[in-house]
Amino acid sequence: MPMLEPSDLHPAVFLDRDGTLMEEVGYCGNPADVRVYPGIPGALEELRLAGFKLIVVTNQSGVARGYFTEADYYAVHAEFLRQLQPARLDGTYFCADDPDHPSFRRKPNPGMLLEAAAAHHVDLSRSFMIGDRGLDIEAGRAAGVRTVLVETLPGDPQLQSQPDAKVKDLVAAAEWILRNRS
């Protein structure tokens, strides 16, 4: 396999889903509960036009806990993608593992980000992670990307390290990234 040159690598924005791109409803297994936050499609398109790959990385322990099936997850995902239009994602990675049995893929571990970075030729040094919880920030730090916490939920007591920025929502996060990408 040929080595990639630095010029072959792309910056990315890794995105948490629930509470970051769409309303947090707690173990979303029903497409009727999907509500993408206002302004998200436009903000994602601005990031794409600036050259970023857009990759969702989401913990979905509701599958392992038996709250919903993997088929339910995919039905929710299809509705989520429909509501994101005209924006589109370059990839989506989910981890269904139970938090009582942590894995390298489950945030706060960086596995999903590293897997996506390899598959999509991502330059982690020029990339960002946006999320609403400490788990997202920790995963981003562990993967070597800059991190942005969206404060769409009340304070997270599990936030152990400080993000590079705290903003009110993903629209503000996209604006911050576009100002601080170099």
Quickly tell me which residue has 């989506």 as its tokens.
Answer: 92
Q: How far is CA 54 from the centre of its chain?
A: 8
Integer CA distances (angstroms), 59 to 94, 167, 181, in order: 6, 22, 26
Closest residue by Cα to residue 17 from 152, 160, 122:
152
Is 18 annotated as catalytic? yes
- Quick check: helix, strand or coil at residue 139? helix
Contact predicate 39/172, CB 8 Å = no
16, 72, 132, 169: which one is catalytic? 16
**Which is catalytic among the residues 8, 18, 98, 123?**
18
Is 169 labeled as catalytic in the residue annotation? Answer: no
- Active-site residues, by number, are 16, 18
